[in-house]
Structure 1
Amino acid sequence: MENMNDDHMHGMMNNKSDGGLTTAMHPHKMMMHMTFFWGSDAQILFSGWPGTSTGMYVLALIVVFVLAFTSEFVSNCRLLKPGSDNHVTAGLVQTLLHALRVGLAYLVMLAIMSFNGGVFLAAVSGHLLGFLLFGSQVFNKSSADVPAKTSDHLPPPMSC
């Protein structure tokens, strides 16, 4: 493979005045950010979304927040009662909840890979509020009133 020196790389990439990088072969295609940046001009999850509109960027942040919040809810919800007689149904519900939780977590991860600071803060805030409401002891009854946690989902609860 040919060793690329600075002169060769300079011929392939041109700095634009807006800070974006373009290649000589694809002059209209922006390169993806590889460091955190602040601003509403980002691509989150889908090509061209949210676009350049500030309102759509705020909507994208809300969507990422809701995805992270819902992931925490699914991680801590109790749809199965301990001692359920129908193990097949219980296993299917566990499997579906696990798939939903993992899918939501991957969507949040992909959104964070936009390297936008606002998206990162929205994701962390969604996880924070979701865990506070559903996973922490803040809004739960005393530990004597709460039944022992079963393994109806992963990850196991943190013991702090």
Structure 2
Amino acid sequence: MAQHGGFWFGVDVDILFTGWPSGYGYFHFYMALVLVYMLSMCAQMFAMTPMTSPKMVPKSLIRHAALHCLRTFITFLVLLCVITFNLGVLITVLLGHVGGYVALTMYIHYHYPAPVADAPANDEKA
């Protein structure tokens, strides 16, 4: 595989693993892009969710540490995808982050709607 000095388009790229998907054809390249999209979507959703709760007890420290490890691992995988300098992969990562933001924002607005203040009776000012 040729080394590229800057951003480039093409399907002959190694993403996350040596020798994959380059050399396997277009189907594997597009499946790799789907994997990159899902990873970046998960990374964005993890970035938007709080790590701790107000009543966090010391017994849950191992669970929170494992969750932090998973979040960091997924973020590093997305970073490794981006450093291929392939513009198709970079655009896929950006679309995944946008998709994760939209999906989590819509989920929050649908399941946890903001309370609406009642209007004052008889047009009185509150």
TM-score class normalised by the smaller sequence? 0.7 to 0.9
Residue of structure 1 equivalent to 2:30: 58
Instruction: Report the Cα distance in structure 2 between the residues aligned to 1:101 and 1:92, rounded to whole angstroms.
Output: 14
1:37/1:116 contact within 8 Å kept? yes
Instruction: Report the Cα distance in structure 1 between the residues aligned to 2:115 and 2:52, rounded to whole angstroms.
Output: 19
Which amino acid is 2:92 matched to? A
Instruction: Give yes or no for the alignment of 1:132 onto 2:102.
Output: yes
Residue of structure 2 equivalent to 1:88: 59
3-state secondary structure, aligned to 2:17: coil
Which amino acid is 2:18 matched to? S
Instruction: Report the Cα distance in structure 2 between the residues aligned to 1:51 and 1:132, rounded to whole angstroms.
Output: 31
Q: How many residues align?
A: 113
Q: Which protein is richer in helix relative to its size?
A: 2
Unpaired runs of 5+ in structure 1?
1-29, 146-160
Which amino acid is 1:35 matched to? G
Among 39, 59, 62, the residue aligned to 1:67: 39
Change (3 A) 1:38 1:138: same
Q: How does 1:42-57 map to 2 (within 5 A)?
A: 42-52=13-23, 53-57=25-29
Instruction: Report the Cα distance in structure 1 between the residues aligned to 2:10 and 2:22, rounded to whole angstroms.
Output: 12
Which amino acid is 1:42 matched to? V
Instruction: Report the Cα distance in structure 2 between the residues aligned to 1:100 and 1:40, rounded to whole angstroms.
Output: 29
**TM-score normalized by the length of structure 1:** 0.60
Unpaired runs of 5+ in structure 2?
117-126
Instruction: Give yes or no for the alignment of 1:37 onto 2:8.
Output: yes
Change (3 A) 1:97 1:144: farther
Bigger relative contact order, structure 1 or 2, given CA contacts below 8 A and separation 6+?
2
- 1:49-90: CA deviations, max 9, x gaps? 102300100001001001111112333346865424x3221x
